[in-house]
C-alpha cells in the first residue's frame, strides 16, 4: 500500500519512493499568503479605557502590506463597515525587519502556529503598556490568604505565620472565595483553585498586603512578577509561603 501525502505537512517518502520528498499545499510557495501583524487605534465607542491616556487598540493579522495599501484599506473600511477605526498605529507594530513587519511577513498557512503566538505576544505587550486591547478591560490584583498552620510540625525561629499569595483578574475577595470553596464553587469551567489553599484555608488577609503591592497591574506577565516578589517579601518577614512560584527563579 502506498502512503499518501497529508494536505498539511511535508511527507519525507513513501513505500515505493522512500527517498523522495512531496511538497503539500501548505509548503508550496505558490499557496502561501503573506500575513502582517497590524495594530489599529479605535475610538472610545468601545467603552472606558483601562488607562485614561492609552487608547483602545485592536491587534489583527492582515494579508494587506503595511504602508499605502493598508492605509487605503483603512480609509475604505472606515467609510463602510468599521467606523470605529481611527488610524494605523505603525509605531506599535513590528519593525520592518522583524517577523510580522513590512519586509518579513509570516507565510500562511505554513506559519500559522508562529503567527498565533506572535499575535498573543503583541497583545500582551500592549496590555502591559496600558492599552485596552481588543476590548479587554481586565486588570490584575495581588491577594493574600491566611492558612491554618496546625499541621506544621516545625516552626523556625522568627516564624510569623502561614500564607498563600496569588494574582488574579477577579476581585481579590472573589478569588479567595474560590480557594475557600474549592470544588464546591460554581465554576463555569474546570476548577482552578489551589488544593493547599483550600485544605488549609483560614481567611482572606488582604490587610497584610504592603502598600506597594496594592496597586492594579496591567497584564499577566507583570502580575506574575509581582506575585513572585510578594512571596519573597513574606518569606523575608518570617512567613511560610505557598503560591507565587511560577517565576520564582526568574528575576
Extended strands (E) in the chain = 33-42, 56-62, 85-88, 106-108, 132-133, 141-147, 161-168, 201-204, 239-242
Domain limit, last residue, from 84, 106, 133? 133
Asked, for residue 114, whether it belongs to a domain, the answer is yes
Instruction: Tell me, yes or no, whether 149 and 238 share the same domain.
Output: yes
Q: Is residue 26 predicted with pLDDT exceeding 80?
A: no
pLDDT (0 to 100) of residue 12: 47
Q: How confident is the model at residue 37 (pLDDT cuts 50, 70, 90)?
A: very high
Instruction: Give 39-74 pLDDT, tens digit per residue.
Output: 999 999 989 999 999 999 999 999 999 999 999 999
Instruction: Tell me, yes or no, whether 147 and 227 share the same domain.
Output: yes
Residues 201 and 195: their CA atoms lie apart, in Å, by: 10
Helices (H) and strands (E) in the chain, counts: 5, 9
246 vs 1, higher pLDDT: 246
pLDDT (0 to 100) of residue 191: 95
Instruction: Tell me, yes or no, whether 150 and 224 share the same domain.
Output: yes
199-205-210-216 Cα dihedral, nearest 10 degrees: 90
Q: Residue 116: which residues within 8 A CB-CB, separation 6 or more? A: none
pLDDT (0 to 100) of residue 27: 62
Instruction: Tell me, yes or no, whether 156 and 107 share the same domain.
Output: no
In the chain, helix, strand, coil percent, each to 5? 30, 20, 45
Instruction: Tell me, yes or no, whether 147 and 197 share the same domain.
Output: yes
Asked, for residue 89, whether it belongs to a domain, the answer is yes
Q: Is residue 227 predicted with pLDDT exceeding 80?
A: yes
Asked, for residue 212, whether it belongs to a domain, the answer is yes
Instruction: Tell me, yes or no, whether 117 and 146 share the same domain.
Output: no
Q: What is the mean pLDDT of residues 114-143?
A: 97
Asked, for residue 68, whether it belongs to a domain, the answer is yes
Share of the chain above pLDDT 90, in %: 82
Instruction: Tell me, yes or no, whether 125 and 146 share the same domain.
Output: no
Q: Is residue 195 predicted with pLDDT exceeding 60?
A: yes
DSSP codes, 36-56: EEEEEEE-GGG---SSTTS-E
Q: Taking the mean position of all CA atoms in its chain, how far away is CA 100?
A: 19
Asked, for residue 222, whether it belongs to a domain, the answer is yes
Q: Tell me the whole-structure pTM to 2 decimals.
A: 0.80
pLDDT (0 to 100) of residue 99: 97
Q: Is residue 11 predicted with pLDDT exceeding 90?
A: no
What phi and psi, each to the nearest 5 degrees, are found at residue 132?
-90, 105
Domain limit, last residue, from 89, 105, 133? 133
Instruction: Tell me, yes or no, whether 34 and 128 share the same domain.
Output: yes
Asked, for residue 6, whether it belongs to a domain, the answer is no
Instruction: Tell me, yes or no, whether 129 and 36 share the same domain.
Output: yes
CA angle 214, 216, 217 (to 5 degrees): 115
In terms of residue numbers, what domain contains 112? 29-133
Q: What is the mean pLDDT of residues 177-205?
A: 97
Beta bridge partners, 40, equal: 58, 88
Instruction: Give 78-88 pLDDT, tens digit per residue.
Output: 999 999 999 99
| SS3 (DSSP) at 145 | strand
pLDDT (0 to 100) of residue 28: 74
Considering its fold, how many domains does the chain have in total? 2
pLDDT (0 to 100) of residue 21: 46
Instruction: Tell me, yes or no, whether 33 and 126 share the same domain.
Output: yes
Q: What is the mean pLDDT of residues 1-24?
A: 47
Q: Is residue 221 predicted with pLDDT exceeding 90?
A: yes
Domain limit, last residue, from 133, 151, 166? 133
Contact 50, 139 (CB under 8 A): yes
pLDDT (0 to 100) of residue 30: 76
Instruction: Tell me, yes or no, whether 206 and 153 share the same domain.
Output: yes
Q: What is the mean pLDDT of residues 146-175?
A: 95
Q: Is residue 110 predicted with pLDDT exceeding 80?
A: yes
Instruction: Give 89-103 pLDDT, tens digit per residue.
Output: 999 999 999 999 999
Share of the chain above pLDDT 70, in %: 88
Amino acid at each position: 500500500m502506498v502512503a499518501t501525502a497529508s494536505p498539511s505537512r511535508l511527507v519525507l517518502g513513501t513505500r515505493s519512493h522512500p527517498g523522495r520528498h512531496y511538497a503539500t499545499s501548505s509548503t508550496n510557495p505558490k499557496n502561501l499568503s503573506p500575513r502582517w501583524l497590524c495594530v489599529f487605534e479605535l475610538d472610545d465607542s468601545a467603552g472606558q479605557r483601562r488607562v485614561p491616556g492609552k487608547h483602545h487598540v485592536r491587534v489583527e493579522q492582515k494579508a494587506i502590506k503595511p504602508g499605502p495599501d493598508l492605509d487605503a484599506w483603512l480609509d475604505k473600511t472606515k467609510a463602510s463597515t468599521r467606523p470605529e477605526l481611527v488610524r494605523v498605529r505603525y509605531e506599535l507594530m513590528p519593525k520592518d525587519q522583524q517577523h510580522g513587519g513590512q519586509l518579513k511577513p509570516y507565510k500562511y498557512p505554513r506559519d500559522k502556529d508562529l503567527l498565533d503566538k506572535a499575535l498573543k505576544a503583541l497583545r500582551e505587550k500592549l496590555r502591559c503598556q496600558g492599552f485596552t486591547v481588543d476590548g479587554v478591560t481586565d486588570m490584575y490584583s495581588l491577594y493574600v490568604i491566611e492558612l491554618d498552620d496546625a499541621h506544621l510540625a516545625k516552626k523556625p525561629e522568627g516564624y510569623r505565620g502561614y500564607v498563600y499569595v496569588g494574582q488574579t483578574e477577579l476581585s481579590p475577595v472573589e478569588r479567595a472565595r474560590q480557594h475557600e470553596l474549592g470544588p464546591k464553587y460554581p465554576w463555569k469551567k474546570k476548577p482552578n483553585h489551589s488544593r493547599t489553599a483550600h485544605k488549609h484555608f483560614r481567611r482572606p488577609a488582604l490587610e497584610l498586603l504592603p502598600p506597594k503591592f496594592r496597586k492594579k497591574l496591567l497584564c499577566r506577565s507583570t502580575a506574575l512578577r509581582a506575585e513572585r516578589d510578594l512571596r519573597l517579601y513574606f518569606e523575608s518577614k518570617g512567613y511560610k509561603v505557598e503560591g507565587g512560584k511560577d517565576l520564582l527563579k526568574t528575576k
